[in-house]
A and B are shown apart, each in its own frame.
Chain A
Amino acid sequence: MGTIQRLGQWAIGTSERLGRGYLFLMAILAGIPGSLFRFSLVIQQIYSVGVLSVLLILISGLFVGMVLGLQGYNTLVDFGAEESLGVMVSLSLVRELGPVVSALLFAGRAGSALTAEIGLMKSTEQLSGMEMMAVDPIRRVITPRFLAGFISLPFLAAIFSAVGILGGYLVGYGLLGVDDGAFWTQMQTKTDWYDDILNGVIKSIVFGFVVTWIALFEGHDAIPTSEGVGRATTRTVVHSAFAILGLDFVLTALMFGDV
């Protein structure tokens, strides 16, 4: 009996949270037009969410590209096809690794910070204080952060892919001696602007939307104690990772499934 009760409790709790998350998202979306008139708030948030993540993205992108170059070369050289290294590096970065890895890093770097910030605002009753002063905390605090995350991630993913390709080129051309021209020309013939690069950008837009939504909701919905905020931060990272990887499969199946 106890087990069934716990199962029911869990089911009701989960549905309630999903419903709250949905209502929260609607409130955010309703606040977007107002935020566009006070864009300086959004810029402030792009700084803390996007600009401060650039260094992390640059370094990890470079290393991911370099590793792809090394590993790809070892596989391709067996078939005498090491000229295709450029294609391999560019397609895997632009289609998959760029959007996914930068979204995962973004969830860890910026998402967790957003949750902690909002959760702490809630636990120190800053959000209720704003409401007391007739300032809508959703419009003043949440929506600018949402827009900032939504805008930043596609740029971060593009930077990641570009730096990764340069890293692959550094290793391929500088270290392993793959032909310079073949690297770029094969890459250019096989990578398509619409099918590959724009689809990657669409992926990163979707991830940016979902990750910031999860992060802000977890913060807003956190139990206002130090333990609750800590848990919410953990949940942000875990749930974002699930959402990113699951959505990535769905998007990939939609975009490249029928090729």
Chain B
Amino acid sequence: MRQKKSTEVTVGLFVLLGMGALFFLAMKVSNLSAFNDEQGYRVTAEFENIGGLKARSPVTLAGVRIGRVERIELDPETYNANVVLNLYASFDTLPTDTAASIYTAGLLGEQYVGLEAGAEEEFLKDGDVIELTQPALVLEQVIGQFLFSKAEGDE
């Protein structure tokens, strides 16, 4: 009987270990942890073009990560993209004239939202809108513009 009990205990431990591994995969490796995000506040930024930005992309200020993109919606009236940013509650001292731009990490890297703090005395609150935005750089457009201006210059 003693033998049997220790077998049962080790099997229990094995099942726990397996469940723990699945839990680790769910929480640490996959994006399932998005459902229980830490409490932050949300601000919206309207971009003309978001390039390859996705939900859960990082939001940084001076290179430091201060939140993530919660969701991206298309505004049916202005045809612009409304990007809802979820910022950590501890960074609640962003001036209202903070500017948001979409940058790419490295040449092939993922895209992220970079914030630049403004100079206003008032701070952004939950539900506010960031007015100053700069759309993502689309490489084809830049090359097209360059070729166009080059051709114009030659004439």
Which DSSP category, helix, strand, loop or mixed, fits chain A's interface? helix
Cβ-defined contact, A197 with B29, below 8 A: yes
In the complex, which residues of chain A have a beta carbon less than 8 angstroms from the beta carbon of B14? Answer: 46-47, 50-51, 54, 152, 155
Which chain B residues (1-37) contact chain A, with CB distance < 8 Å? 4, 7-8, 10-11, 13-15, 17-22, 24-26, 28-33
Size bin of chain A's contact surface: 35 or more
Q: State whether the Cβ of A225 lies closer than 8 Å to any Cβ in chain B.
A: no
- 0/1 interface trace, chain B 101-118, chain A, CB 8 Å (1 if under): 000011111100000000
Find B25's partner among A46, A50, A94, A152 (CB 8 Å cutoff). A94
Cβ-defined contact, A43 with B8, below 8 A: yes
Cβ-defined contact, A50 with B29, below 8 A: no
Q: State whether the Cβ of A112 lies closer than 8 Å to any Cβ in chain B.
A: no
Chain B residue at minimum C-beta to C-beta distance from A89 = B29
In the complex, which residues of chain B have a beta carbon less than 8 angstroms from the beta carbon of A80? Answer: 106-108
Cβ-defined contact, A193 with B110, below 8 A: no
In Å, the complex CA distance between A46 and B4 comes to 12
Cβ-defined contact, B24 with A189, below 8 A: no
Size bin of chain B's contact surface: 20 to 34
| Given A47-B10, A186-B110, A201-B22; A90-B17 close (CB under 8 Å) | no
In the complex, which residues of chain B have a beta carbon less than 8 angstroms from the beta carbon of A187? Answer: 29
Q: State whether the Cβ of A101 lies closer than 8 Å to any Cβ in chain B.
A: no
Cβ-defined contact, B24 with A162, below 8 A: yes
- 0/1 interface trace, chain A 60-78, chain B, CB 8 Å (1 if under): 0000000000000000000
In Å, the complex CA distance between A40 and B4 comes to 9
- 0/1 interface trace, chain A 85-121, chain B, CB 8 Å (1 if under): 0000010001000000000000000000000000000
In Å, the complex CA distance between A161 and B21 comes to 8
Q: State whether the Cβ of B57 lies closer than 8 Å to any Cβ in chain A.
A: yes
Chain A positions near chain B (C-beta within 8 angstroms): 40, 43-44, 46-47, 50-51, 54, 79-81, 83, 90, 94, 152, 154-156, 158-159, 161-163, 165, 181, 184-189, 191-193, 196-197, 201
